[in-house]
Structure 1
């Protein structure tokens, strides 16, 4: 996805990463899954964006009792903290991914930094959607620099997020505030 309109700048106000716990991430994923119950068309599968989206995607798929798939999408040049997004996203669809999706596909990532990853993966899946199928996006976190919000998210942040499934962050971190509600656009 070259020259992406989603090449926004992520916001890093304090430059101290947020550090959610495993429990906070699990609870947020469960609440996000609850928030899509009753969606029409019904959620028929969850697709986690590797690597960060796979953890919440598994929780959500288990809660919704639907299959879980994984897609790889990358645009960061490394795993270093405080990187700005390039907007150029490489999407890799695995061979075992279904050829056709029905219902609503719940596309999950750990964070929506700019919106570029969700946009690129949605574009890559569009040709696999059956008539009347839809894609819904969900993220644990949304950076305040995100140009296109996901359909659902738990927290809005203005700094980097050091997830519990990543290498520990060297230095100070800040706690994540208590989750009050699921946000939606």
Structure 2
């Protein structure tokens, strides 16, 4: 297990949380997958960051017809809304993850709040990357305060996001706008 300190502050307008639908999340994952078709080097595997990135990552891997893996990365103390990230990310690599990764390794998460999770997972994978391997990051959402943007993302938000695979939010929520394109660096 790796514990990597990071900095950054999420931005929360604190109106009401965004609540994307399953369909919107699945459509965003498909659009992210389409956005990486033909990159060089090709995406060789997709790694979902558990738990929130697991579902979208599996969809991306299925679309691209590449291997799918998961890693666990934690930094929030709980799932309470509007909490700032601690900056301390604990990463656990499973025994089933290959010892050598090549091509483009696509890390997928549900949200990039500060970029700390992507950075910590990339650091943890560093010893497994072949000399020509590259890490690419993708998230369904990017918080407006995220200082290091992922390579691909669907929506930029300024409030908490309640995902359809999480416990239901008891209170009002706001919809996310229709997705027209994926943002890329």
In the alignment, what sits opposite 1:93? Answer: 93
In the alignment, what sits opposite 1:42? Answer: 42
Matched, 1:22 2:16: no
Partners of 1:16 and 1:124 in 2: CA distance: 35
Question: Structure 1 stretches of 5 or more lacking a match?
Answer: none
Aligned partners of 2:46 and 2:61 also within 8 Å: yes
Cα deviation, 1:58-78, whole Å, max 9, x if unaligned, reads: 000000000100000000011
In the alignment, what sits opposite 1:120? Answer: 120
Partners of 2:67 and 2:160 in 1: CA distance: 30
3-state SS of the aligned residue for 1:127? helix
3-state SS of the aligned residue for 1:91? strand
Cα deviation, 1:93-135, whole Å, max 9, x if unaligned, reads: 0001000001000000000000000000000001100111100
Cα deviation, 1:16-42, whole Å, max 9, x if unaligned, reads: 100000000000000000000011110
In the alignment, what sits opposite 1:66? Answer: 66
In the alignment, what sits opposite 1:174? Answer: 174
Paired positions, count: 183
Matched, 1:165 2:165: yes
- TM-score with structure 1 length normalisation? 0.97
- TM-score with structure 2 length normalisation? 0.97
Partners of 1:82 and 1:140 in 2: CA distance: 18
Aligned partners of 1:15 and 1:82 also within 8 Å: no
CA displacement at 1:81 relative to structure 2:
1.1
Matched, 1:75 2:81: no
CA displacement at 1:14 relative to structure 2:
3.4
3-state SS of the aligned residue for 1:52? coil
Partners of 2:5 and 2:171 in 1: CA distance: 34
CA RMSD after TM alignment: 0.8
